């Protein structure tokens, strides 16, 4: 076991780091779904746009100013998307809202395609995060170690926010029962906006960590991570924040081991690489069929 | 009443016949490189897949997003089956693998097999997936489409699917012959005939008792079940039939494109088809048809200038550069989604009587206005 761990350490490390980045995105999905019952298909693209903003801003500004600016602008983007594309459809059928989300995703991707000219943009090296370090014989970037720690800190802060503040209490109430909480005088729209703001903020943090690792941003680099993070949220039980985090770590690690895929299954070497994405969806289908509420989900009514 | 609906039917037949005659005449008179043929062919193919998606999303109420995956299965099955054996044995396509399938079939058999292969996959996928509801169904079908794409690119299956490499040299639109002769069949007419027949079958299905059961499920599952409709059976049936036609349209797309590659069939393609269905109106076959041709015409022809630096006589190479067309397009689509959520047709169909009624109404109000003034 220890030998296996040592031989595949680099995959485990990158798995943990990718898992942390996925966790930050997955929280955005799970919170929005918990409150609006909407798969926010545009969330992955917001994450991609945050990456592109960093690319463009860092050419003109020093990193210390660019990072906070990226965070703020992503938050604004998330807020605007909610107000423009989801709020007018509050009373429409759920399918229309989902179609609107798909439309926004299409719009963001095409906008990115236009502004970048379809080329992959090189992500700026962030001084301290991009340093190499060596752990137990395998070399990796500093970001690999920072990610899980930062993720856990942010998750703890978020949990405290939800447990002990007034906004958090309102969020919990809205996700329990939309109509009743409105009757109780909770301002639904501001609660939803706060949810989107938090989700986008975490996605922006995630994008800084993720793209530091992957070094380039393309208009479609948000799609796949986006879908995977939704799967992570479903896997952990939608609406549950710790569930999303654990689901994301599991998916991140499993995916990287499949990518490495030395001889774990005794078959096919690199042949499994094509399946690193497919694995995630296979996991999704299995969990939906076997335990639709996910690992930590409460008994919901409308899933299967 | 019956007399009237019969008259309607004749008018519909006449209109369809007129379209076919127009296509035939157009193809004989206009230069075959004209952009209009691209629009017509691609539009017809997209009409078929849009109608098949509408059968699921609009008529059965199953929000499925797996269309690109089924098109991929259709396209690959078709190209594998119709690629001549001589080509398979040389290195021109299967460069890194030895082709495992050592026979070839004609175009018609290839098209049918493409549909059947997609339907078979759908039957298997449907068993677990159709128990899920709305957005969970959507995400699970996207997932399956991605898995299918990964399987077709897997190098272990290379002898069959040629791995992640391009498939080509199979029978394409230029290889279609008029039966029992050696004369080439007009390609645009062929695409129109093939998708016309398929769409006709879907319309017949929608108007049959099965179709009414589908609509009942869409409107209220619990009530439908109480009426004695077997929910799972009908959902599975709708899913399989829709996938069959998606497979056929994938095969037609392969014929039209001359080459086909698994990487093309991403979830973005499904989104595109979904947006066509939304523009046309969810639950309207004629809406889907109109929207497909409009969408393809706009993206391939009318808005071309947005990418080429010159649009409506305005030259602005810095603004109108590559990608601007799709950017403008997605803004238009968002406008439709937000402000005209019913699409072009809502859930109504185009009908001659309806047009007459609307025309009469307008004439009457115009007259009324005249008297008041």
pLDDT tens per residue, range A63-97? 888 899 999 999 999 999 999 989 888 888 888 88
Same-domain check for residues A63 and A124:
yes
CB A47 within 8 A of CB A207: yes
Q: Strand A132-135 to strand A138-141: parallel, antiparallel, or no bridges (unpaired)?
A: antiparallel
Of residues B170 and A118, more confidently modeled: B170
Q: Pick from B286, B280, B209, B345: which is nearest to B12 by CA?
A: B286
Q: Where are the beta strands (DSSP E) in chain A?
A: 121-122, 132-135, 138-141, 216-217
Same-domain check for residues A243 and A214:
no
CB A222 within 8 A of CB A47: yes
Tell me what percent of the residues of chain B surpass a pLDDT of 70.
88
Tell me, letter by letter, the H, E, C secondary structure of B162-226.
CCCCCECCCCCHHHCECCCCCCECCHHHHHHHHHHHHHHHHHHHHHCHHHHHHHHHHHCHHHHHH
- Asked if residue A205 is part of any domain, the answer here is yes
CB atoms within 10 A of CB B180: 6
- Identify all chain B residues contacting A293, using CB atoms and an 8 Å cutoff: none
- Asked if residue B204 is part of any domain, the answer here is yes
- As a whole number of angstroms, the distance between CA A259 and CA A253 comes to 10
* Contact status of B330 with chain A (Cβ, < 8 Å): yes
Is pLDDT above 60 for A265? no
Q: Strand A121-122 to strand A132-135: parallel, antiparallel, or no bridges (unpaired)?
A: unpaired
Give, in order, the Cα–Cα distances in Å from B278 to each of A66, A255, B44, B351. 39, 35, 17, 20
Average pLDDT estimate for A249-270: 69
Average pLDDT estimate for B185-189: 84
- Identify all chain B residues contacting A303, using CB atoms and an 8 Å cutoff: 132-133, 136
* Contact status of B259 with chain A (Cβ, < 8 Å): no
Q: Strand A138-141 to strand B314-315: parallel, antiparallel, or no bridges (unpaired)?
A: unpaired
- Asked if residue A183 is part of any domain, the answer here is yes
Same-domain check for residues A282 and A242:
yes
- Asked if residue B286 is part of any domain, the answer here is no
- Asked if residue A19 is part of any domain, the answer here is no
Look at residue A143 in the predicted model and tell me its pLDDT: 81
Instruction: Say how many domains are in chain B.
Output: 1
Inter-chain CB proximity A274 and B278 less than 8 Å: no
- Asked if residue A181 is part of any domain, the answer here is yes
Look at residue A236 in the predicted model and tell me its pLDDT: 86
Q: Which of A168, A184, A219 lies at the terminal end of a domain, its last residue?
A: A219
- Asked if residue B347 is part of any domain, the answer here is no
Same-domain check for residues A79 and A215:
yes
Domain enclosing residue A155, as ranges: 27-219
CB atoms within 10 A of CB A150: 18
Nearest CA of chain A to the CA of B182: how many Å? 43
Residues 6+ apart with CB under 8 A from B365: none
Same-domain check for residues A36 and A131:
yes
Inter-chain CB proximity A281 and B147 less than 8 Å: yes
Inter-chain CB proximity B326 and A110 less than 8 Å: yes
Same-domain check for residues A151 and A249:
no
Domain enclosing residue B141, as ranges: 11-26+35-265
- Asked if residue B291 is part of any domain, the answer here is no
Inter-chain CB proximity B271 and A106 less than 8 Å: yes
Q: Which of A171, A197, A219 lies at the terminal end of a domain, its last residue?
A: A219
Instruction: Say how many domains are in chain A.
Output: 2
Same-domain check for residues A193 and A244:
no
- Identify all chain A residues contacting B323, using CB atoms and an 8 Å cutoff: 110, 113-114, 117-118
Tokens of B25: 């005449």
Look at residue A194 in the predicted model and tell me its pLDDT: 92
Inter-chain CB proximity B139 and A227 less than 8 Å: yes
- Asked if residue B295 is part of any domain, the answer here is no
Q: What is the ipTM of this complex?
A: 0.81
Tokens of A59: 């050419």
Of residues B367 and A28, more confidently modeled: A28
End-to-end CA distance of chain A: 38
- Identify all chain B residues contacting A223, using CB atoms and an 8 Å cutoff: 267-268
- Asked if residue B3 is part of any domain, the answer here is no
- Asked if residue A142 is part of any domain, the answer here is yes
Q: Quick one: pLDDT band at residue B1, thresholds 50, 70, 90?
A: very low
* Matching residue, tokens 């609006």: A36
Inter-chain CB proximity B330 and A231 less than 8 Å: no
- Asked if residue A11 is part of any domain, the answer here is no
Same-domain check for residues A146 and A112:
yes
Same-domain check for residues A165 and A291:
no
- Asked if residue B277 is part of any domain, the answer here is no
- Asked if residue B165 is part of any domain, the answer here is yes
Using the 8-state DSSP alphabet, how is residue B34 labeled? S
Q: Which of A196, A219, A242 lies at the terminal end of a domain, its last residue?
A: A219
Tokens of A191: 């609660």
CB B141 within 8 A of CB A227: no
Tell me, letter by letter, the H, E, C secondary structure of A142-187.
HHHHHHHHHHHHHHHHHHHHHHHCHHHHHHHHHHHCHHHHHHCCCC
- Asked if residue A291 is part of any domain, the answer here is yes
Inter-chain CB proximity B341 and A92 less than 8 Å: yes
Q: Pick from B167, B148, B176, B149: which is nearest to B41 by CA?
A: B176
Tell me what percent of the residues of chain B surpass a pLDDT of 90.
27
- Asked if residue A229 is part of any domain, the answer here is yes
């Amino acid at each position: 076991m220890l030998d296996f761990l040592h031989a595949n350490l680099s995959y485990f490390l990158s798995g943990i780091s990718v898992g942390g980045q996925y966790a930050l995105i997955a929280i955005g999905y799970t919170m929005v779904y918990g409150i609006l019952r909407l798969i926010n298909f545009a969330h992955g693209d917001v994450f991609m746009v945050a990456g592109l903003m960093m690319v463009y801003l860092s050419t003109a500004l020093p990193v210390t100013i660019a990072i906070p600016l990226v965070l703020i602008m992503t938050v604004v983007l998330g807020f605007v998307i909610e107000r423009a594309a989801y709020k007018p459809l509050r009373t429409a059928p759920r399918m229309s809202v989902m179609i609107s989300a798909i439309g926004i995703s299409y719009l963001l991707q095409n906008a990115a395609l236009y502004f970048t000219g379809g080329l992959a943009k090189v992500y700026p090296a962030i001084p301290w995060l991009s340093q190499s370090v060596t752990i137990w014989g395998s070399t990796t970037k500093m970001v690999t170690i920072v990610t899980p720690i930062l993720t856990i800190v942010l998750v703890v802060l978020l949990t405290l926010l939800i447990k002990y503040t007034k906004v958090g209490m309102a969020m919990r109430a809205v996700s329990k029962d939309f109509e009743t909480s409105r009757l109780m005088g909770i301002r639904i729209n501001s609660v939803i906006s706060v949810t989107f703001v938090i989700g986008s903020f975490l996605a922006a943090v995630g994008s800084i960590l993720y793209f530091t690792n992957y070094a380039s941003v393309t208009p479609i680099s948000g799609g796949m991570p986006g879908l995977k993070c939704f799967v992570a949220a479903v896997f952990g039980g939608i609406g549950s924040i710790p569930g999303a985090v654990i689901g994301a770590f599991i998916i991140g690690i499993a995916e990287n081991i499949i990518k490495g895929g030395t001889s774990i299954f005794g078959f096919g070497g690199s042949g499994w690489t094509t399946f690193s994405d497919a694995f995630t969806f296979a996991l999704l289908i299995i969990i939906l069929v076997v335990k639709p509420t996910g690992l930590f989900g409460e008994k919901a009514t409308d899933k299967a | 009443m019956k007399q009237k609906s019969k008259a309607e039917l004749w008018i519909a037949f006449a209109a369809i016949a007129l379209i076919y005659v127009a296509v035939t005449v157009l193809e004989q008179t206009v230069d075959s490189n004209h952009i209009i043929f691209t629009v017509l062919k691609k539009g017809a193919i997209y009409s078929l897949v849009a109608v098949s998606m509408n059968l699921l999303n609009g008529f059965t109420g199953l929000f499925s997003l797996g269309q690109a995956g089924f098109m991929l299965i259709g396209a690959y099955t078709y190209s594998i089956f119709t690629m001549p054996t001589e080509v398979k044995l040389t290195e021109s396509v299967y460069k890194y693998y030895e082709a495992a399938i050592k026979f070839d079939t004609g175009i018609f058999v290839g098209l049918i097999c493409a549909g059947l292969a997609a339907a078979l996959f759908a039957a298997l996928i449907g068993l677990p997936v159709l128990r899920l509801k709305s957005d969970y169904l959507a995400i699970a079908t996207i997932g399956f489409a991605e898995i299918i794409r990964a399987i077709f690119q897997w190098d272990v299956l290379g002898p069959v699917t040629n791995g992640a490499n391009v498939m080509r040299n199979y029978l394409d639109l230029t290889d279609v012959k008029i039966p029992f002769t050696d004369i080439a069949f007009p390609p645009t007419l062929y695409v129109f005939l093939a998708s016309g027949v398929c769409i006709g079958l879907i319309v017949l299905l929608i108007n049959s008792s099965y179709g009414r059961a589908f609509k009942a499920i869409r409107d209220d599952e619990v009530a439908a079940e109480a009426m004695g409709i077997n929910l799972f059976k009908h959902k599975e049936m709708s899913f399989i039939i829709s996938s069959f036609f998606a497979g056929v349209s994938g095969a037609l797309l392969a014929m039209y494109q001359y080459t086909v590659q698994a990487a093309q069939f991403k979830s973005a393609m499904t989104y595109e088809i979904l947006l066509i269905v939304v523009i046309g109106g969810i639950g309207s076959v004629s809406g889907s048809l109109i929207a497909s041709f409009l969408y393809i015409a706009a993206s391939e022809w009318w808005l071309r200038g947005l990418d080429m630096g010159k649009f409506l006589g305005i030259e602005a190479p810095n603004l109108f550069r590559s990608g601007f067309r799709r950017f403008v397009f997605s803004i238009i689509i968002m406008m439709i989604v937000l402000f005209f959520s019913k699409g072009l047709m809502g859930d109504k169909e185009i009908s001659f009587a309806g047009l007459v009624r609307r025309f009469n109404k307008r004439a009457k109000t115009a007259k009324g206005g005249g008297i008041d003034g």
